[in-house]
Structure formats: structure tokens, C-alpha cells
Amino acid sequence: MGLIPNTENKTGSDCSGVSGASNRVLILANTAETSVAGFVVFASGLALGLATEYTVVHNTTASEITFLNGMWDDMTIVVNYFQPSSVSTQFEKMRQDFQDIVIDNGKAVTLIRQTPTTASMGDVTAISEEEYAIWTSIQDITRKDRQIHEMGLAVPGNSKAFFFHEYPDSITGNGTLAVQVGDVIKYEDDKKWRVEQIIAQRNADNEEIFRVGIIKKIDLDEDAT
């Protein structure tokens, strides 16, 4: 888990108590426990000494600084400190970095999901389709894709595609979506691929970052005729 640097600019008026009094307390805006290392407090441009001029309680949120000497309301206070980045923040950054790559190098496509309606005996009576806007990056399968070759998926008409771990409604325009086997990917030129298999759900500490799927060109036979 990494550390995030923070700086808070305050004045004496942000402290408890009255102007000029000692032992006034300043509450920080940290959202994770402040680190002892790298914790520096300045008052009116001068670095203060820990234990002689101030004390600090390193809380998981809202750490407390107590100024032992008189603190006036018009005095400037600068506090530099580090706090650990939250796990969720790290995962979101990893996801965002991957998604930026897909958007920069991939393509906006339409995902079609078919949902069958079955009768009481299990017969399919109807199939409905929903469309979602997504981003993906489609690549050819190469010799370096050993896992794909070992699984017997490196066949004519197959490609690999990179997907977000989940697409929000702000992208799909039709609710939150995670790509699954059976979905159909359609390009603007009406070329279509079907998701044959999800071969990897890249995880970091059991949190999914992105998906890799094998897609098959649906109109391969038509192109060959």
C-alpha cells in the first residue's frame, strides 16, 4: 500500500480555543491514519518541534495537533503529512489506467445480449435483445499467447478482446454491464463477433481489474464464400 502526500493550509482561527491561548487543537482532514514519518508542522513559516512546541495524535481519521505555546488566530499554519492510499483507491486507479488504454487504443462498439424466454417445459418461446455501448480493444492471437494455444482456441476467426471489468450506465446507456460468454460484439460496419470464452479475469488481491475474452467472428463462413 502506497503513501499519499498531503498538505493542509490553515490559520490559528481554525483551532479550538481563543486567540493567543496555548493548547489549542487543530483537527486534520485525513481519511487514513497519518504517518509519523514525514509529519511536519509550520507556524508563521517556522517549523515547530514535536513534543516541545506541539503534540500530535495520529488517528485513522481526523488526526489532532495540539499547539503547546500561544496560537493567535491570524497565524498561518501549514501541515505536511503522508497517509496510506486506501485499497479501493488503488484498485480504482488500476482500473482507470487500463480503461484509459482501451479508450485510447480501442474502439467504441455495440454489445448485444440475447435473453431467452422459456415455457414451463423449458422450451424457448422468444428471444429478446438488449444493446449496450462499450469500449473494447480487439487483437489478433499471436504465438506469444501460449495459454490460448494450449486451450485450443487459436483457430481461424478467433481473436482476443480486452474488456472493462464492468461498464457503468454512463458508458452503456442501458445500465451496468459485465461482459459474459454468449454476448455479441458489433462494430459500426456491422461485423459481429460472439464472446466464446472469458479466459482471464485479471485480479489484484481478488479485485477484478479487467477481462480478457476470446471472440469468434460470426460471419466467417459468409466471408469465405
- The residues spanned by each domain of the chain are 3-84, 88-224
pLDDT bin (cut points 50, 70, 90) of residue 90 is confident
pLDDT of residue 128: 87
- The mean per-residue pLDDT over the stretch 193-213 comes to 88
Dist CA 27 CA 56 (whole Å): 10
pLDDT bin (cut points 50, 70, 90) of residue 220 is low
Amino acid residing at 130: E
Query: CATH topology for 88-224?
Result: Thrombin, subunit H (2.40.10)
pLDDT tens by residue, 170-195: 999 999 999 999 999 998 778 899 99
Determine whether 214 is exposed, middle or buried from the number of CB atoms within 10 Å of its CB (0-12, 13-18, 19+).
buried
pLDDT tens by residue, 113-163: 988 787 777 777 778 899 999 999 999 999 999 999 999 999 999 999 999
Dist CA 77 CA 53 (whole Å): 13
pLDDT bin (cut points 50, 70, 90) of residue 31 is confident
- The mean per-residue pLDDT over the stretch 4-31 comes to 96
**pTM of full prediction above 0.85:** no
Q: In b/e form, how buried is each residue of 99-116, taking b as 16+ CB within 10 angstroms?
A: beebeeebeebbbbbeee
Cβ of 179: how many Cβ atoms within 10 Å? Answer: 23
- The mean per-residue pLDDT over the stretch 42-48 comes to 97
